[in-house]
């Protein structure tokens, strides 16, 4: 079982993060979890083996984080939810890791990316002019990875259609560290600005960003 880490979050409610490192074969992953037949049939239609493994690893991670069996489903907009629990959930996956965040009361968002991926396209499509000016040439790609994960996490938490990442999600300037906090603002379509506090950590050339409030 490749449960990489679990992390209890410091807030007033029971919330936690789990990360699974995908080291198993597809058959080994299947043996670690009992996926309902309708879910397994849906996963079997996925042609990409890596993506199939990611989907199964999410179920294995949930089995490791819950004492009781939980049933994962998705709303029409793709937002995940647990059928037999009121706990809020957000999910992210890469080729090597899958992660979830759970919160008893609040909507949440989480995103993970490999920092070895080329994020140059993110600069043009997701960052504002102010955010681009704050980039450091020496560690530009790593900063872009965190910007992207932060905006994805906010997007997942807010769960709104047609969000302009450059115009509606602003991330304050930050100094890249192994872990830290990020300040962000989500600008609603009516102009209302909602302030958010995010957290991030880096491990094994990956970055993980999450937001709860």
Q: What would the mean pLDDT of 123-148 be, rounded to a whole number? A: 94
pLDDT class of 36 with cuts at 50, 70, 90: confident
Residues β-bridged to residue 80: 74
If we measure between CA atoms, which residue out of 76, 104, 77 comes closest to residue 89? 104
pLDDT at 126 over 90: yes
- The Cα 175–Cα 164 span in angstroms is 24
The reported pLDDT for the residue numbered 13 is 60
Q: What would the mean pLDDT of 37-59 be, rounded to a whole number? A: 92
- The Cα 88–Cα 157 span in angstroms is 10
pLDDT class of 125 with cuts at 50, 70, 90: very high
Please give the order of strands across the beta sheet that includes 3-8: 3-8, 15-21, 97-103, 88-93
pLDDT class of 55 with cuts at 50, 70, 90: very high
Domain with CATH 3.90.470.20 in the chain: 3-105
**3-105: which CATH topology?**
Ribosomal Protein L22; Chain A (3.90.470)
- The Cα 126–Cα 123 span in angstroms is 6
The reported pLDDT for the residue numbered 188 is 96
Indicate the pTM of the whole model. 0.94
Domain 112-211 has CATH 3.90.470: yes
């Amino acid at each position: 079982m490749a449960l990489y880490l679990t992390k209890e979050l410091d807030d007033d409610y029971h919330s936690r993060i789990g990360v699974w490192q995908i080291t198993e074969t597809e058959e080994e992953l299947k043996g670690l979890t009992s996926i309902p037949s309708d879910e397994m049939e849906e996963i079997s239609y996925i042609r990409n083996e890596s993506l199939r493994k990611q989907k199964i690893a999410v179920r294995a991670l949930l089995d490791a984080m819950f004492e009781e069996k939980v049933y994962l489903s998705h709303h029409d907009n793709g937002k995940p939810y647990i059928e037999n629990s009121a706990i809020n959930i957000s999910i992210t996956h890469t080729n090597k890791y899958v992660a979830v965040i759970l919160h008893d009361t609040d909507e949440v968002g989480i995103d993970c990316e490999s920092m070895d991926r080329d994020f140059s396209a993110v600069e043009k499509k997701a960052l504002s002019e102010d955010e681009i000016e704050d980039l450091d040439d020496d560690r530009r790609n790593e900063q872009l990875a965190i910007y992207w994960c932060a905006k994805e996490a906010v997007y997942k938490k807010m769960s709104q259609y047609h969000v302009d990442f450059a115009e509606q999600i602003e991330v304050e300037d930050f100094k890249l560290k192994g872990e830290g906090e990020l300040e962000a603002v989500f600008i609603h379509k009516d102009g209302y600005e909602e302030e958010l506090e995010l957290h991030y950590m880096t491990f094994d050339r990956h970055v993980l960003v999450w937001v709860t409030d």
